[in-house]
Amino acid sequence: MKQEHIDRINVLARKAKTDGLSPEETEERDRLRKAYIADFRKSLEAHLENTYIVDAKGNKTKLQKKH
């Protein structure tokens, strides 16, 4: 996600606390938040896919997804 989108989320959050948001701004905020969360999850999943657990004997085990 581009920094300008994150900055816009922050501007809308501050405005919501002080002045309130118009319906268009609320919709924009929700859309940007969903995109931010999706990018965060994608990044976290990629990070966890490359994570290994090393036991006391030095054996590496790749993390498994919970079902």
- Tell whether the model's pLDDT for residue 67 goes beyond 80: no
Specify whether the CB–CB gap between 22 and 16 falls below 8 A: no
Q: How confident is the model at residue 55 (pLDDT cuts 50, 70, 90)?
A: very high
Mean pLDDT of 38-66: 92
Mean pLDDT of 12-29: 95
- Tell whether the model's pLDDT for residue 42 goes beyond 80: yes
Backbone region of residue 16 per phi and psi (left: phi > 0; alpha: psi in -120 to 50; beta: other values): alpha
Share of the chain above pLDDT 90, in %: 91
Q: What is the CATH number of domain 3-62?
A: 1.10.287
The pLDDT of residue 12 is 95
Locate the domains of the chain by residue range: 3-62
